[in-house]
Amino acid sequence: MAVQRILTIDNAADLAILKQVSKPVEGVDDAVRTLMDDMLDTMYDAPGIGLAAVQIGELKRVIVMDLGDKPGVEETEEEDAEARRNPRHFVNPEILWSSDEMFTYEEGCLSIPEYFDKVERPARVRIRYLNYQGETIEEEAEGLYAVCIQHEMDHLNGVLFIDHLSRLKRERAAAKCKKVARERMAA
């Protein structure tokens, strides 16, 4: 497994890739599983809770996610974070249904470092995707799971969470991302 570089909006070439629509994959094979493993390593290293393949420059409809919600494991101490891991894999995900009820959540993104803002999305969605083994899964997502899967699926369509915000807030996010990049280069 390998940690990959995450594309960020402060880099024009990265942004051009992030704004592209990802292509469906033919099926889940060893190459796709290796991609998902690398994506998880990258996401955990960042750290984050979700990552779309486009964020590491792969224009494939693949997402990984880990909300740290492994069933039967209590959230106690920091060292238990690994025990709470519950990696999820989504290949060619699609939203089949969205609730009329909306949910607002303060989102962030690994491609827009250190910027957070509230986004309103459907509170529940029904999704279909292929899992790590290539099996077709259909399930309903709500709460943070629904927010995260919609956020990551936006990436697959070339949409960033800041695209749901006003122009002023988008400009503020871009300026903050550039400032963070400069500070990291100076350190």
Which active-site residues does the annotation give? 152
Q: What residues contact 185, with CB distance under 8 A and at least 6 apart?
A: none
Q: Using CA atoms, how far apart are residues 62 and 51, in angstroms rounded to an integer? A: 9
Judge whether 57 and 124 are in contact, CB under 8 Å.
no
Residue 85 DSSP code:
-
Show the tokens assigned to 65. 């996610």
Burial of residue 37 (number of CB atoms within 10 Å: 0-12, 13-18, 19+)? middle
